[in-house]
């Protein structure tokens, strides 16, 4: 794959062009995009809901199921990048900053093998 | 930003390393990751839920709120890339293919200004 | 409608019987049920995603759309009651307690007309 | 518990009164309510995300965790009933109809022990 194809910024631009060419920008306010994102996360969840947890990776090695999972993950990604774009957020920079922050908050030697609990 | 920082593949590798260093790979089966993704989508939704739809972009120009939105979008992205990685899915290639497919299914001159309805 | 038909406890029992008759109880661990719930919330979100916020109530007065919304809301409710049942939670009592707690935390004269913000 | 406390219709009325007393009805358009619902489903998902699937029921017998799960399930239920109310949907009748429809579509002797797959 070319560097271009792997770039978050290039993908964001392509999604923006896709919306613009169809005059769909009018529908892309943040709340509507989050609902669309929720819809795609729901479709992703449905693919895995009844699969045994410890067999999910194995079952999704099947090419047809892997293809379907890839499509749903892509749909989530596309709406997520569209949302960031509409809000003027540089998602690559934001994700880098978030990961750096998580590295500080969860020191490897302190949390090793322990899942952080949400209360 | 360097090309590296904007790369989906490089970000995926960094997230994998982050999990590996903390021995958190054991928790990262697909179903658990989709639940974590759902949690982050929920936090994103909460930021916008009571904001008037047509004022959301303007209200999130405020630096503190934009920062918060960027963090939640990042959390969604991080779990999404982690999920794709665990499933062995090249998310950049999958998103490119999905976008190409949408270009075929929704010809610009046919759907211009009309939101596709889900039934 | 009879009192029975309107009862959360009776509905919960019917859903349990439905699962038992099909030997689907084996699939109904909490994580799987939350993924199924997420799937149904996604279908609900998709119905409304591109509808203008201030026109949604009016558009869903249309009988066919109201019917569809009722079906998706029902699917969410069914998985939610099934989850509570699996966890041994009396959802009617829990919801009553939550509402009483909200009445204490959000005194009407203090929060009147102000949406509580999530930070 | 009294019949009243267990009634979907009585609970719906109480939630409506709660919103009315705080003049929060103005915020309760369907899209905003679905975002709020998504937020609460996210909080529910976070409680379970890293728990082993086959140990979730046992871990949530702990009174404090059961209490937390009951609160999040209640929050989902409250927004769901509020949404149905705003749309004029009788959720008890809708859920009864949906369950009857599922009984027809999934005959017990045909689907016994087989999880319905979503494609």
* pTM for this prediction: 0.96
Structure tokens at B10: 């490089």
Of chain C, the percentage scoring pLDDT greater than 90 comes to: 84
Contact A44, B38 (CB under 8 A): no
Give me the residue spans of the domains in chain A. Answer: 3-98
* Candidate from C36, C43, C45 with C-beta closest to A49: C36
Distance CA A107, CA C23 (A): 45
**D68 chain-A contacts, CB cut-off 8 A:** 119
Interchain pair D91, C74: CB under 8 A: yes
What ipTM goes with this model? 0.95
**A41 chain-C contacts, CB cut-off 8 A:** 38, 42
Q: For residue C5, what pLDDT is reported?
A: 77
The answer to whether D118 contacts chain A (CB < 8 Å) is: yes
* Candidate from D35, D45, D50 with C-beta closest to B38: D45
pLDDT, tens only, B85-97: 999 999 999 999 9
**B38 chain-D contacts, CB cut-off 8 A:** 41-42, 45
The answer to whether C49 contacts chain B (CB < 8 Å) is: yes
Which of residues B61 and C113 earns the better pLDDT score?
B61
Q: For residue C67, what pLDDT is reported?
A: 98
Is pLDDT of B82 > 60? yes
Confidence of residue A47 (pLDDT cuts 50, 70, 90): very high
* Candidate from D3, D5, D41 with C-beta closest to C38: D41
D12-18 long-range contacts, CB within 8 A, separation 24+: D12/D81, D12/D82, D12/D84, D12/D85, D12/D91, D14/C99, D15/C99, D15/D78, D15/D81, D15/D82, D15/D85, D16/D82, D16/D85, D18/C99, D18/C102, D18/C103
Interchain pair D39, C118: CB under 8 A: yes
CA distance C4 to chain A (A): 31
Confidence of residue B119 (pLDDT cuts 50, 70, 90): low
Residue D11 burial (CB count, 10 A): 23
**B93 chain-A contacts, CB cut-off 8 A:** 1, 5
The answer to whether A119 contacts chain D (CB < 8 Å) is: yes
Question: Mean pLDDT: which of A111-115, B113-117, C97-101 is highest?
Answer: C97-101
Number of cross-chain residue pairs from A and B with Cβ atoms under 8 Å apart: 204
Structure tokens at C37: 């719930």
Structure tokens at D52: 């082993």
The answer to whether C39 contacts chain D (CB < 8 Å) is: yes
* Candidate from A27, A43, A50 with C-beta closest to C42: A43
DSSP string, C50-100: TS-GGGHHHHTTSHHHHHHHHHHHHHHHHHHHHHHHHTT--HHHHHHHHHH
CA distance B27 to chain D (A): 6
* Candidate from B36, B38, B48 with C-beta closest to D41: B38
Distance CA A79, CA A71 (A): 13
Q: For residue B115, what pLDDT is reported?
A: 86
Instruction: Summarize the confidence of residues B71-88 as an average pLDDT.
Output: 98
Structure tokens at A65: 């199921």
In B, residues 51-110, which contact D (CB 8 Å cutoff)? 53
Q: Please report all neighbours of C, defined by 3+ CB atom pairs within 8 A.
A: A, B, D
CATH number for A3-98: choose from 3.90.870.10, 1.10.287.1080, 3.10.20.30, 1.10.10.10. Answer: 1.10.287.1080
């Amino acid at each position: 794959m070319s560097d271009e194809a792997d770039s978050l910024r290039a993908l964001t631009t392509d999604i923006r062009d896709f919306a613009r060419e169809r005059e769909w920008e009018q529908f892309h306010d943040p709340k509507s995009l989050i609902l669309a994102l929720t819809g795609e996360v729901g479709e992703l969840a449905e693919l895995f809901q009844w699969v045994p947890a410890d067999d999910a990776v194995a079952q999704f090695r099947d090419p047809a199921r892997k293809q379907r999972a890839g499509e749903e993950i892509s749909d989530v990604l596309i709406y997520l990048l569209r949302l960031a774009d509409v809000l003027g957020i540089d998602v690559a920079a934001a994700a880098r900053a978030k990961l750096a922050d998580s590295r500080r908050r969860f020191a490897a030697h302190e949390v090793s093998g322990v899942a952080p609990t949400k209360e």
